[in-house]
Chains A and B, each alone.
Chain A
Amino acid sequence: SQQGEEDPQALSIQEGENATMNCSYKTSINNLQWYRQNSGRGLVHLILIRSNEREKHSGRLRVTLDTSKKSSSLLITASRAADTASYFCATSQGAQKLVFGQGTRLTINP
């Protein structure tokens, strides 16, 4: 069963705007990760946030984690056409097993 659930399922914005995607999960986690998948390609790791962290930045990416609400958000600032992709959250419950959500399909319109 899916552990993470992304919201919204699809998001379409204009280039230059910020994009925010949310992820909710059900059980306690060791860490939460975000991945990107371009059409027809494999997933690529973007950022990892540990359960004792609340916020993390990487370039134009900002991730927050609220373990009390079992939720995370991914913010992409100043979006570009190349950011068009599906974005997945994945949670680790121990060992090396990652469970992925259904993903948010992001479209950046020029």
Chain B
Amino acid sequence: DAGVIQSPRHEVTEMGQEVTLRCKPISGHDYLFWYRQTMMRGLELLIYFNNNVPIDDSGMPEDRFSAKMPNASFSTLKIQPSEPRDSAVYFCASSFLQGSGNTIYFGEGSWLTVV
């Protein structure tokens, strides 16, 4: 299995530009998560989906952020317009329900720098 695949791995963009991060979860997983990691705030859960449906988006910072999952094998996280404080590593992760516990599999992250 290829694992969770994220693109781009690195992106540098100017303030005000639109940023789209992409994710392909592990085949067969029915949960998909978007996390953001910064030195100041650690690892924050932004949103997660179950069977392509958003379940909890309470971690999405503001209206500039949006996430979609049009099918079981693809999700996007979009920032429009981007700001320097959005600079962070964005992780996509996936899992499947297994008993009383779920192991989350992370991608390698998308390193975003907004200048």
Q: Which residues of A contact B (CB under 8 A)?
A: 2, 30-31, 33, 41-45, 48, 50, 88, 90, 92, 95-103
B55 interface residue per 8 A CB criterion: yes
Q: Contacts of A101 on B, CB cut-off 8 Å?
A: 42
Question: How far, in whole Å, are A33 and B95 apart by their CA atoms in the complex?
Answer: 14
Report whether B101 and A31 are in contact in the complex, using a CB–CB cutoff of 8 Å.
Answer: yes
Query: Quick check: B107 and A42 within 8 Å, CB to CB?
Result: yes
Q: Which of A31, A45, A92, A100 contacts B43 (CB 8 A)?
A: A100
Q: Which of A30, A43, A50, A101 has the most CB of B within 10 A?
A: A43
Smallest beta-carbon distance A92→chain B, Å: 7
Do B101 and A97 touch (CB < 8 A)? no
How far apart sit A48 and B98, CA to CA, in the bound complex (Å)?
A: 12
B74 within 8 A of A: no
Beyond A48-B101, A96-B31, A100-B45, 5 extra complex contacts between A and B, CB < 8 Å: A41-B109, A42-B106, A45-B105, A98-B45, A100-B42
**Chain A residue contacts of B42, Cβ below 8 A:** 2, 100-103
User: In the complex the two chains form, is A97's CB within 8 Å of B97's CB?
Assistant: no
Q: Mark B63-99, 1 if CB is under 8 A from A, else 0.
A: 0000000000000000000000000000101010100
Nearest-neighbour CB distance to chain B for A89, whole angstroms, equals: 11
Query: Among the interface residues A90, A92, A96, which one has the most CB atoms of the partner chain B within 10 A?
Result: A96
Contact B48–A43 (Cβ < 8 Å): no
Assembly CA distance A50 to B55 (angstroms): 24
Evaluate contact between A92 and B101: CB separation under 8 angstroms: yes
Partner pick for A30 among B45, B48, B56, B101, CB 8 A cutoff: B101
- Please state if B48 and A97 are interface contacts (CB–CB under 8 Å): yes
